[in-house]
Structure 1
Amino acid sequence: MIEYVSLRKGEARLYFSSTAERELFLRGMNGVEGVEGVEYKENTRTLLIRFKEGSFAHYLIENLKREKDYQRLEGEDVNFYLQPFLKHPVIKLAFSTALLGWKVGLISFAVCSMFLTPYLKSNL
């Protein structure tokens, strides 16, 4: 896997999972239009590539960039995970309305706490 360490005007430092991956990438970059120089140390997994702006190498390195997708914890998730720990109905209602808003919190409380949960407890 290739990760960016830094990307500046005219150069990029890349980090590889292994030295074998770095060597494979280095062989592939040999002869690519726009590469001005490549620097690396023998036992490291990083590679510094100098390239011309607007060249094919610049395009290739710019498009290697992958951004990590972080999943955020939303109010609905917090409400879902914490509702079983709340015992008093008024506290459940206040918590739902605080996190989800007045309308959605009230509907969620009414449907889940008053109808769905008792039905499931009695029939399962």
Structure 2
Amino acid sequence: MACDNSATALTCCTNNEYVQDKVCTPWSGTVVATDVLLIVYVNNISQNLVGTGYIQYDVGADDIVVDVLNSAGAPMVTPITLSPGMSLAFTYRRFGSIRLTLPGASAGTYQGEFCITTRYAI
């Protein structure tokens, strides 16, 4: 049990049980003429999810954009731009999905890896 040992009172609260899962997977997309939206992760577990991981961008013709979206599909943070050869480490809480935008102006194949470790209470 975790306890609050303040000067005025000693109270205890119950422990929380957490689950931790790790998933890593390659991602890829082929751009022909329009933007390609790739959803690399969808939170179907809990609103109180914490995710830590990275997005690696190995091969592509141009910069890509990373968006972290809330459960309504709206951006939660300023979109992040990655160039080929770059990666992004992250920790986000209470998000709905993570999306990559591959630019329609630069045709070709785009590839990388996505890895996330999620933690949530049961």
Do the structures match in fold with TM over 0.5?
Answer: no
RCO greater where, 1 or 2, for CA within 8 Å and sep 6 or more? Answer: 2
Which structure is higher in strand share?
2
State the TM-score, normalizing by the size of structure 2.
0.29
State the TM-score, normalizing by the size of structure 1.
0.28
Decide which structure has the larger Cα Rg and report it. Answer: 1
